[in-house]
Amino acid sequence: MALHAFIFPGQGSQAVGMGRDLAASFAPARHVFEEVDEVLKQKLSKLMFEGPSDELTLTENAQPALMAVSLAVLRVLQLEGGISLERKAKLVAGHSLGEYAALAAAESFSVAETARLLKLRGQAMQKAVAPGIGAMAALLGVEFEAAREICRQAEANGEIVSAANDNGGGQVVISGHKTAVERAIDIAKAQGVKRAMLLPVSAPFHCALMAPAADAMAEAFANIPPRTPVVPVVANVTAAPTTDPNTIRDLLVQQVTATVRWRESVLAMTAAGIDSFIEIGAGKVLAGLVKRISPDATTHSIGSPADIEAILKVL
């Protein structure tokens, strides 16, 4: 029998129209979107369904929006499909903001709490660095240690650049001061890295420049502490499962400035016997990464009514 991990996508998976068919087809999905709209006092669902794209892509909108789609899918699986996360998933994990969706799925936070936390996280990350100061770039065809060495070589004049996401399959995202990131791109190309390109993001996530946002999250968790999840969560910072609320809180604070260790997380889940990864929410980014890290694993991406119908036959 397959052992499943439920995984939750991060920023970059958003697209105008996400969640629209779910809301049209299923009352539990509609209720999640209505609850998030209500909590945030904004018509986030309208922005998700209709755009404009540039507004949806804003960090403070994209983060709660992606979580809302993931939780809407999960609610439909639970309430219409009779799926119990506790019984069906051995582990949960998420990529960056997806870790919050994973924790909400595992009942560590309510949907309302998660929406508030992610709105704040998005705003704090946006405010942490003035526009134009920071940047992120993707290096393709490079292993993690080599990418870290490139970053070390590119740091100068007090400017920082570091590995932000170890996505696996030779894909590493780097983050830091724009000029240092540009130097790292030049070094990477000179060293024969297949592709190195700036990413269209509004802030340099998962690097030391995000320290003010980490402080903001530490403050937020004083008011909204996590509860013990019903399924262990594989944390981005440690690539290891945890169920301890204090550890979860500390790791979420660290996560703002730390590397997202996705490759190691997938390998850890595979080592724990997981052979089926079910991506819950918008897009198919994580399923693609899993396939590159653990080629033998089965993957499913569940974001539409048709996807839900198909996965209910599998689970």
Q: Are 139 and 156 in contact (CB under 8 A)?
A: no
CA atoms within 13 A on the CB side of 266: 28
Q: Tell me the residue ranges of DSSP E strands in 152-287.
A: 161-168, 171-177, 195-198, 233-234, 241-242, 276-280
Q: Which residues on neighbouring strands pair with residue 168, listed in sequence order?
A: 171
Residue 25, token pair as written in the block: 């087809």
The helix-helix angle for 98-105 and 111-128 (nearest 10°) equals: 170
Q: Which of 13, 45, 70, 96 is catalytic?
A: 96
Is 96 one of the catalytic residues? yes
- Beta pairing, strands 195-198 & 233-234: unpaired
- In the chain, the amino acid numbered 198 is L
Q: Which of 45, 206, 265, 294 is catalytic?
A: 206
Residue 230, token pair as written in the block: 């019903």
CA distance 213 to 128: 6
Q: Are 217 and 80 in contact (CB under 8 A)?
A: no
Closest CA to 204 of 184, 237, 181: 181
Before 52, cis peptide (omega within 30)? yes
209 secondary structure, DSSP code = G
H or E, element range at 91? strand 89-94
Q: Are 275 and 297 in contact (CB under 8 A)?
A: yes
Residues belonging to the active site: 96, 206
